[in-house]
Structure formats: structure tokens, C-alpha cells
Amino acid sequence: MTAGATPVAVAPLRLVVRCWLAHLKYLMSSGFFVAVSSVQPVIFATIAFYLFRAGDRPTSLVYAAIGAGMLNLWSTTLIGSGQALTLLRTAGLLELLVAAPAPFVLVLAPITVATATVGLYAMVATLLWGWLLFDIPLHIEHPLLLVLAVPVTVFGLGMLGTVLASVFVRFRYANALTNLFDYPVWLISGMLVPVDLLPHWARPLSWPLPSTWGVRAVRDSVLGGRPLTAIGICFALGVGYLGLGVLTVRTFELAARRHASLALA
């Protein structure tokens, strides 16, 4: 190792952190992203609060607040995944990044994790909104486990986002596909409606989704329960999607190099 060179194990970590930070800054400068991420979750949370309060479930408002926050965590992940490669391509950076010696997945994964991180705002915003306007108590049963559950959920969703991003790049109108996947995942992940209420055939669809286990982990941490199992499954799914993401990104990269289609929209 020459003087001043970065140790081999540190370089990928530094790359991931820098990419995550850079994309986070980019997202925070996007008026559309900030406005939609900041107002939309509050509107959905308000709908959920009024429905739960007016219906037979006035005691489930914390349940609704967590679920409404998770809605946006998924939405931002989805939007970020749909736009990740398109943004790089439009900015003329895609070819440079693919040609760089660093594995491309180490560039792409932090981008999708950064969008999921922005979605965390929604979680905090909806809880505060519920506390301020609907008198929802902010008591957390397992605060330490919540501190573990939240980043694991972001990691799980971010890794799924990486797989989606590498698949979406094959579609010219990936943004339209992101419009399609909001509500179904909200529904089958049990964010506001328990999975048990869905038809039997739909329930297994929720199992491979990190959002299902993430919302369960956060809920059990806040309301009381055993969040460790859900946290473990969410983390394992994240690792699985990371492995899958490495494969799909590599496949995309090879196909794009072979067909010289990297810069083509």
C-alpha cells in the first residue's frame, strides 16, 4: 500500500457513504421530491386518522400513524428506484460510473437507500402530526429496538429498490410503473390494513416484501411486542435483495455494454 492510499476494506464503505450523502443532498434540493414527500404523507395520515377515529378503531390511531408513515417510506423508495438510473443517464454520469473501477452496485445501492432515508421524514412527520392534532400519544415501548428497526427497514427497502432500479432501467417509462406499485404494496404489506383481512391468495405476496416486516418491526417496537423476529427477517431480506441486486445490476451492465445502449433512453 502506498502512503496516503485508502485501505481496501474502507474504500467501498467510503464510496457508499459519499454516494448516499451526495444523493441525499440532491433529493433535498428537488422541489418536487421535497413537496410531495412532506405534504402527501400528512394527507394520507389525516385520512387514516379520521377513518380510524370515526370507525370502530379509535384506539388504533398509533397503528394508523406508523402505517401512514410507512406508506411514504415505500413511495419514496419506489420513486427513487424508478428515477435512479434515469437521473444518472440524463446527467451524463451513467457511462462514467459504469466505466469506473468501483462495482456499479456500490453506486446504485446508496442512491436507493438515500431515497428511503428521505422517506423517514414521513414517519416522524406523521407521528408528530398525530400527536399535535389528534392527541395520539408518542409513547414508545422499546425505544432501543425502534432505533434498530428503523435503519433495518430503510436498508431492506433500499436493497429492494436497487433490484427495482436495475429492472426499471429496461423500461423507458419506468416512472409510469412506479405509479402502479404504490397502492398494491401499501395494501399487501399491511401498512394500514392487516394482512389477515386480505384474501388468502394475496397473503403470501406480502412475505418477500421488506415493507411487511419493516412496518411490523416498527409497530412492535412502538406498541409493544417482539420486534426482533421482524427486524431479523427484514434484515435477511435486505441482504438477499442486495445479492440479487448485484446480479441484476451486473446483468444490466453487461447487456448495456454489449449493445452499446448505456446512454440511450
CA 141-143-149 angle, 5° bins: 105
Least Å distance, CB 35 to another protein, is 5
Closer to another protein by Cβ: residue 96 or 193: 193
Closest of 93, 123, 74 to residue 23, by C-alpha? 93
Q: Is 28 in the site for another protein (CB under 8 A)?
A: no
Site membership for another protein, residue 24 (CB under 8 A): no
**Sign (positive/negative) of CA torsion 234, 235, 238, 239?**
negative
Closest residue by Cα to residue 130 from 36, 63, 56:
63
61: cell is 390511531
Closest CB to another protein among residues 173, 207: 173
Residues 161, 55: Cα–Cα separation, whole Å: 35
Question: What region does 224 belong to: left with phi over 0, alpha with psi -120 to 50, or beta?
Answer: left
The least CB distance from residue 70 to another protein, in Å, is 13
Does 36 bind another protein (CB under 8 A)? Our answer is: yes
Residue 15 binds another protein (CB under 8 A): no
Is residue 177 within the footprint of another protein (CB under 8 A)?
A: yes
Residue selected from 143, 184, 208, 243 as contacting another protein according to rule CB under 8 A: 184
Site string for another protein, 186-225 (x = CB under 8 A): xx----xxx--xx---------------------------
Phi, psi of 117 (to 5 degrees): -65, -40
Binding piece for another protein, criterion CB under 8 A, among 44-52, 107-115, 118-126, 228-236: 44-52
| Residue of the chain from 56, 135, 201, 260 that contacts another protein (CB under 8 A) | 56
Q: Rounded to the nearest whole angstrom, what is the least distance from the CB of residue 136 to another protein in the complex?
A: 15
**How far is residue 77's CA from residue 35's CA, in Å, rounded to a whole number?**
16
179 near another protein (CB under 8 A): yes
Asked if 138 and 126 touch (Cβ cutoff 8 Å), the reply is: no
CA triple 178-235-194, angle to 5 deg: 60
Q: Does 43 bind another protein (CB under 8 A)?
A: yes
Count residues binding another protein (CB under 8 A).
36
User: Interior CA angle at 99 toward 14 and 161, to 5°?
Assistant: 60
- Are 109 and 245 in contact, with CB atoms under 8 Å apart? yes
Smallest gap from Cβ 181 to another protein, in A, equals 9
- Footprint of another protein (CB under 8 A): 31-32, 35-36, 39-40, 43-44, 46-48, 50-57, 171-173, 176-177, 179-180, 182-184, 186-187, 192-194, 197-198
